[in-house]
Amino acid sequence: MKLWLGAAAVAAALFLPSAAGHARAESAPVWVPCATAQEPGAECASLLVPIDRDAPEHGMRTVTVKRVPAPGVRG
């Protein structure tokens, strides 16, 4: 199965440590079906991320992301 690059890029940006050595998030996203007629294989997840990665004391926000398989790819 091919990687879902858009979601992978978002997850990497949100969860991987920066050059300054920030820690990873404690858990992986939980993907749930959110298919539509236009995107039948879509899955969505909500992620809790810091507003400012370099100043986590500024609080957190929820970001919702969607991943959609590439056309022609079968899971």
In a domain, 22, yes or no: no
Instruction: Assign 3-state DSSP to the chain and report helix, strand, coil percentages, each to 5.
Output: 20, 25, 55
Residue at token pair 């997850």: 11
Question: Which structural domain, as residue segments, surrounds residue 12?
Answer: 5-16+27-67
Task: Answer positive or negative: Cα dihedral of 17, 18, 19, 20.
Answer: negative
In a domain, 72, yes or no: no
Distance CA 48, CA 63 (A): 6
In a domain, 45, yes or no: yes
Model-level pTM greater than 0.75? no
Residue at token pair 């899955």: 43
Name 38's Cβ contacts closer than 8 Å, sequence gap at least 6: none
Number of domains present in the structure of the chain: 1
Residue 5 is predicted with a pLDDT of: 43
In a domain, 32, yes or no: yes
In a domain, 48, yes or no: yes
pLDDT in tens, 18-51: 433 344 455 789 999 999 999 999 999 999 999 9
